[in-house]
């Protein structure tokens, strides 16, 4: 299978979807926002964008199914599935704040083989495919060379449900506040992973994530020279609802602290 050709087409689809979203910024009234759960929102733009992306992807890979955040398609493929977040950062989008991203991944037997993230505010397309380098708007990118956690800038996401792990999470925030260059929270896990891939962040961790939050970004980070695992250091980050990603030089130290703090 020609993953490169597929990826290039997906970049065009993600960019088209992102440009459409950009044209709708600040135009969604609050009464049009549907509440899926505590601090978890969806708009008609999310749903319409997902349908647009699915229709564009249908003919790219024969018999591929879909795992999409808004559930507009329930088809599942035996070996290939597209994992889609049509609008990552919906709360940001509602308030007209960056970042907002389109995230599309193709997985083969639950292993990402194509990953594309398009951040609409800066018009940045991050992408990679199996065996490739990672790219940003056509230029190769690599993770940072930061060697120690004390010199790192860390990103995370705040939980909006599953608060039974909040004590450990708050301990982790306290630790990284005081033992690194700082902690950032953008409100888009896809963008966080893309920023690790291009070296803007040195590491990212979060729990209570879904496959569409991490599928594309995890591949881009790995193809940029970084490492991605779950909190146990294993490979169950796609469906295991937790992820640690960083540059390779400090990964072991970062993972150790995340695991220690989040399990406390």
What pLDDT does 146 receive? 98
Please give the pLDDT value at position 39. Answer: 43
Give the Cα separation of 153 and 200 in Å (integer).
Answer: 8
In tens digits, the chain (264 residues) has pLDDT values of 999 999 999 999 999 999 999 988 765 555 455 555 444 456 788 888 999 999 999 989 989 999 987 776 678 888 999 999 999 998 898 888 999 999 999 999 999 999 999 999 999 999 999 999 999 999 999 999 999 999 999 999 988 766 778 899 999 999 999 999 999 999 999 999 999 999 999 999 999 999 999 999 999 999 999 999 999 999 999 999 999 999 999 999 999 999 999 985
Q: Which fold has domain 3-141?
A: Fructose-1,6-Bisphosphatase; Chain A, domain 1 (3.30.540)
Q: Which two tokens stand for residue 39?
A: 């601090």
What are the domain boundaries of the chain? 3-141, 149-262
pLDDT at residue 52, rounded to an integer: 96
State the pLDDT at residue 25: 79
The CATH class of the 149-262 domain is alpha beta
**Whole-prediction pTM value?**
0.93
Cα distance between residue 69 and residue 61, in whole Å: 20
User: Distance (Å, rounded) from C-alpha 236 to C-alpha 116?
Assistant: 20
**Would you say 53 and 106 are in contact if contact means Cβ atoms under 8 Å apart?**
no
pLDDT score recorded for residue 163: 74
Q: Which pLDDT value is given to residue 40?
A: 46
Tell me, what's the pLDDT at 45? 85
Please report the pLDDT score of residue 90 as a whole number.
Answer: 87
């Amino acid at each position: 299978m020609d993953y490169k050709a597929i990826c290039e087409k997906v970049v065009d689809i993600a960019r088209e979807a992102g440009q459409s979203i950009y044209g709708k910024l600040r135009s969604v009234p609050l009464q049009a926002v549907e509440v899926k759960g505590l601090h978890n929102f969806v708009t008609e733009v999310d749903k319409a964008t997902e349908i647009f992306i699915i229709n564009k992807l249908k003919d790219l890979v024969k018999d591929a199914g879909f795992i999409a955040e808004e559930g507009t398609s329930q088809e599942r493929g035996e070996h290939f599935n597209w994992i889609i977040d049509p609008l990552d950062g919906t709360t940001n989008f509602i308030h007209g704040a960056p970042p907002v991203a389109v995230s599309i991944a193709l997985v083969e037997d639950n292993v990402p083989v194509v990953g594309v993230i398009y951040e609409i505010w800066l018009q940045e397309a991050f992408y990679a495919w199996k065996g490739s380098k990672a790219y940003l708007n056509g230029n190769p990118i690599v993770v940072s060379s930061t060697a120690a956690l004390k010199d790192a800038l860390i990103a995370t996401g705040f939980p909006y449900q599953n608060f039974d792990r909040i004590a450990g999470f708050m301990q982790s925030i306290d630790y990284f506040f005081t033992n690194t260059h700082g902690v950032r929270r953008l409100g888009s896990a896809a963008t966080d992973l893309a920023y690790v891939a291009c070296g803007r962040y040195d590491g990212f961790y979060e729990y209570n994530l879904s496959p569409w939050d991490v599928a594309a970004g995890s591949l881009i980070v790995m193809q940029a020279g970084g490492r991605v695992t779950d909190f146990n250091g294993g490979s169950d980050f796609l469906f295991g609802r937790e992820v640690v990603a960083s540059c390779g030089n400090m990964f072991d130290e970062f993972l150790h602290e995340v695991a220690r703090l989040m399990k406390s």
